[in-house]
């Protein structure tokens, strides 16, 4: 069953200056060419995933103009736009992998996630062991380390139960595996720890590890579950104005390979 999140203010407002674009070519992990009204623009992609289901000429992209630098002589930025959203068959998907940390922090601080109730302090980008993790929650006698993962891939074919399946990762992630195993160590040290998958689209019913993409990450996640690391997934409402976590969806650890 899905767990509805209490109503609250929108998590993240998107820029007002977004423009439609068509995908042309991905140049590297963090840059692509797009077409805006017949003009080629160099666009920053804040997502190292493969994004093959998003970056396609069949989809409409939404870009925002890069902010003007405070010191034009000092800036090294070459891209003129940022990729924000992708319209995949009428479903808006947030493509920015930097957002889940902020979305999750906002939802926790506003008291909208019952799974993380009781924490009164939230810190971002904390070091534990040899990893930098997304959030450290403290309150009362409890401390919780949280790693947030951005999910954009939903299988175009439903599973045998008729459920729409969100998959993570869409490419091998040794860094993600390292973070998960670090959380296992944190639990052994007495911390509470959680992996949170933030599905940046509304059309997913369940989250399943993508074994075919990265079997090592899948094995690490199963090990983490055995050791007591909590595993959650939340999906988002995405519009041209905002991205917001809406509700929790189940996580199935049977994997999809």
Mean pLDDT of 35-40: 98
Most confident of 22-31, 155-164, 248-257: 22-31
Among 65-74, 122-131, 193-202, where is mean pLDDT lowest?
65-74
Candidate from 12-16, 59-63, 113-117, 218-222 with smallest mean pLDDT: 12-16
Q: Measured between alpha carbons, how far is 153 from 209 in angstroms, rounded to an integer?
A: 11
Considering only CA atoms, which of 82, 88, 85 is closest in space to residue 57?
88
Exposed/middle/buried for 187, CB within 10 Å: 0-12, 13-18, 19+? middle
Query: Does 225 reside within a domain?
Result: yes
Q: Are residues 64 and 30 in the same domain?
A: yes
Using the 3D structure, point to which of 94, 126, 158 is the last residue of a domain: 94
Residue 3 has pLDDT above 70, yes or no: no
Report the pLDDT averaged over residues 129-142.
90
In a domain, 257, yes or no: no
Statement to judge: residues 150 and 51 lie in one domain? no
Is 227's pLDDT higher than 90?
A: yes
Structural domain contains residue 244: yes
**120 and 245 together in one domain:** yes
Strands 31-36 and 60-65: unpaired
Residue 138 maps to a domain: yes
**pLDDT over threshold 70, residue 10:** no
Same domain for 62 and 24? Answer: yes
Of 32, 66, 94, which residue constitutes the final position of a domain?
Answer: 94
Do 140 and 176 belong to one domain?
yes
Q: Each residue of 146-164: pLDDT tens digit?
A: 999 999 999 987 667 778 9
108 lies in the same domain as 218: yes
Contacts of residue 31, Cβ cutoff 8 Å, sequence gap at least 6:
42, 43, 44, 45, 79
Q: Both 90 and 100 in a single domain?
A: no
Proportion of the chain above pLDDT 70, given as a percent: 90
pTM of the complete model = 0.91
CATH number of residue 186's parent domain: 3.40.1350.60
User: Which CATH number belongs to the domain containing residue 80 in this structure?
Assistant: 2.40.50.580
Asked if 87 and 178 sit in the same domain, the reply is no
pLDDT (mean) for 36-53: 97
What pLDDT is attached to residue 12?
A: 84
The structural domain count of the chain equals 2
Residues 69 and 121 in one domain: no
| 64 and 120 assigned to the same domain | no
- Listed residue (80, 83, 79, 65) closest to 23, CA to CA: 83
What is the reported pLDDT for 7?
A: 40
Look at residue 114 and tell me if it is in a domain: yes
Average pLDDT of span 8-20: 77
Backbone angles phi, psi at 48, to 5 degrees: -90, 0
> Which SS3 state, helix, strand or coil, does residue 149 take?
strand
Average pLDDT on 160-185 reads: 93
* Residue pointed to by tokens 């930098």: 132
Q: Which of 40, 70, 94 is the C-terminal boundary of a domain?
A: 94
* Whether residue 103 sits in one domain with residue 81: no
Q: What is the pLDDT of residue 254?
A: 79
3 within some domain: no
Q: What is the pLDDT of residue 4?
A: 45
Are the CB atoms for 233 and 92 separated by under 8 Å? no
pLDDT for 1:
46
Residue 110 and residue 82 share a domain:
no
State mean pLDDT over 71-81: 77
Band (pLDDT 50/70/90 cuts) for residue 5 is very low
Is position 2 within any domain? Answer: no
Please indicate, yes or no, if residue 5 is contained in any of the structural domains: no
Domain hosting 181: range is 96-249
pLDDT at 71: 65
What are the DSSP E strand ranges found in the chain? 3-4, 12-13, 19-28, 31-36, 39-44, 60-65, 81-88, 91-94, 121-128, 131-139, 142-151, 153-154, 165-168, 192-199, 206-209, 230-238, 242-249
């Amino acid at each position: 069953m899905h767990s509805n999140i209490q109503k609250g203010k929108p998590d993240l407002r998107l820029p007002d200056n977004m423009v439609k674009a068509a995908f042309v070519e991905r140049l590297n992990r963090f840059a692509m060419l797009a077409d805006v009204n017949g003009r080629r623009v160099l666009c920053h992609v804040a997502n190292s995933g493969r994004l093959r289901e998003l970056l396609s000429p069949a989809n409409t992209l939404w870009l925002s103009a890069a902010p003007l630098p405070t010191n034009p002589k000092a800036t090294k930025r070459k891209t003129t736009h940022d990729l924000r959203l992708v319209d995949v068959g009428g479903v808006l998907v947030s493509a920015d992998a930097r957002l889940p940390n902020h979305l999750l922090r906002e939802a926790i601080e506003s008291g909208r996630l019952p799974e993380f109730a009781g924490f009164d302090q939230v810190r971002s980008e904390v070091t534990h062991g040899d990893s930098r993790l997304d959030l450290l929650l403290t309150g009362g006698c409890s401390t919780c380390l949280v790693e947030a993962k951005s999910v954009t891939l939903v299988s175009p074919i439903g599973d045998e139960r008729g459920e729409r399946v969100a998959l993570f990762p869409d490419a091998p992630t040794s860094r993600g595996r390292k973070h998960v195993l670090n959380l296992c160590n944190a639990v052994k040290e007495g911390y509470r720890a959680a992996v949170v998958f933030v599905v940046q689209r509304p059309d997913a019913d369940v989250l399943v590890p993508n074994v075919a993409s990265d079997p090592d990450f899948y094995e690490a996640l199963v090990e983490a579950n055995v050791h007591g690391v909590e595993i959650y997934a939340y999906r988002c409402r995405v519009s041209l104005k905002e991205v917001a976590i809406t509700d929790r969806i189940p996580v199935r650890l049977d994997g999809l390979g």
